[in-house]
Amino acid sequence: MSEPFKSGFAALIGRPNVGKSTLLNRVLGQKIAIMSDKAQTTRNKIHGIYTTDQEQVVFIDTPGIHKPKHRLGEVMTAMALATLNEVDLVLFLIDAEQGYGKGDQYIIDFLAKVDSPVFLLVNKIDKVHPDDLLPLIDKYRSLYPFKEIIPLSALQGQNVSRLMQQIHIYLPEGPKYYPEDQVTDHPERFIVSELIREKILQLTRDEVPHSIAVVIDKMKQNEHGHLCDIQATIMVERPSQKGIIIGKGGQMLKKVGTLARKEIEALIGSKVFLELWVKVDQNWRDKEEELKNFGYIDREE
Ligand SMILES: Nc1nc2c(ncn2[C@@H]2O[C@H](COP(=O)(O)OP(=O)(O)OP(=O)(O)O)[C@@H](O)[C@H]2O)c(=O)[nH]1
């Protein structure tokens, strides 16, 4: 007799930069979540969907949990907590090289309020000596009753299949929530805005903080589906940031546009006409209305 089909939702949490997007991409085998070596690139939840003959795991890539510094931070933190209590499994990712830090204690305090089973995933083991790994694991084990502790490397792939085996064990019996060829339920618009944001962060290095947002004003395919017309606004907090993003003679914005356009074309499979604008709006992060516009708060609330 064949095993029953299992399915469920797994939330990926951890401090910024521990490798959540890298792990999600490794498991799903393609670029869905946005990767960057900078903190806080993933703002919204991204559902990555992993389907085999035996199971379907819907991954929720929550934004890095951290002490809120402004209104946006509070909203993100509240969203993350709500998510953790809804899911079947919480995957708490840490960076083996960075070791234990205050940010992790903050998350562990959160976990005390969560009923879902929690795995500790010790990532980036390719960067540490095995002798340093055991004391680190002992330290975390003393802080929280993790159901499983799995050292792995999201980048190189070590132990990722073991992680998937353990996830399977903990999943409840359930239906296929999504068709098996679907890997994300996120609207293309969101992925497009994240791709543009990623390019800006990559090209401007540390000159532009993470306080930028990209809003897609228009995204329309022409009748024959050969060309997609996209207009997007990059929101910054200060005129100096606007200057950096536009660059000398518009060079930087042009570069951002070219790189983003190529990836968007690959994503949607048609030619893209991309127009970018930059707008200064001080303290947009603190404005409730703006948060709603960006989709961080439900309009119904
Ligand atoms: N050496 C090594 N580097 C890794 C590993 N996993 C992730 N990284 C690197 O760590 C950096 C951050 O990875 P991300 O996947 O963007 O981290 P994240 O947790 O999604 O970050 P946020 O979106 O900011 O929360 C990138 O430069 C990755 O290449 C790993 O297993 N080994």
Q: pLDDT tens, 259-295? A: 999 988 887 778 899 999 999 987 666 665 565 555 5
Q: Whose CA is nearest to atom 7 of ligand 1?
A: 19
Q: How far is the CA of 218 from the centre of ligand 1 (A)?
A: 31
CB within 8 A of 264, min separation 6: which ones?
Answer: 192, 195, 228, 230, 272, 274
Best residue among 155, 163, 201 to mutate for probing ligand 1, ranked by most atoms within 8 Å of CB: 155
Higher pLDDT, 156 or 61: 156
What is the ipTM for the molecules in this complex? Answer: 0.97
What's the pLDDT score for residue 193? 86
Residue 147 has pLDDT above 90, yes or no: yes
Q: What confidence category does residue 251 fall into, taking pLDDT thresholds of 50, 70 and 90? A: very high
What's the pLDDT score for residue 43? 44
Residue 71 has pLDDT above 80, yes or no: no
CA dist., res. 139 & res. 135, Å (int): 6
CB within 8 A of 96, min separation 6: which ones?
Answer: 122, 123, 124, 125, 127, 128, 132, 133, 136, 151
Cα 176–44–225 angle (5° rounding)? 70
Cβ of 83 closer than 6 Å to ligand 1, yes or no, is: no
| Structure tokens that stand for 268 in this block | 């949607």
Cβ of 51 closer than 6 Å to ligand 1, yes or no, is: no
Cα 202–155–39 angle (5° rounding)? 40
Residue 34 has pLDDT above 70, yes or no: no
Q: Are strands 6-13 and 271-280 parallel, antiparallel or unpaired?
A: unpaired
Closest CA to 164 of 59, 30, 18: 59
What mean pLDDT value characterizes the chain?
81
Tell me the average pLDDT across 83-103. Answer: 89
Q: What confidence category does residue 249 fall into, taking pLDDT thresholds of 50, 70 and 90? A: very high
Higher pLDDT, 213 or 155: 155
Residue 186 has pLDDT above 70, yes or no: no
What's the pLDDT score for residue 158? 95
CA dist., res. 217 & res. 11, Å (int): 30
Cβ of 127 closer than 6 Å to ligand 1, yes or no, is: yes
**Amino acid residing at 100:** Y
What's the pLDDT score for residue 40? 40
Residue 78 has pLDDT above 80, yes or no: no
Ligand 1 atom nearest to CA at 39: 24
Tell me the average pLDDT across 133-145. Answer: 95
The structural domains of the chain, ordered by start, are 6-170 (3.40.50.300), 188-293 (3.30.300.20)
Tell how far CA 93 is from the center of its chain: 13
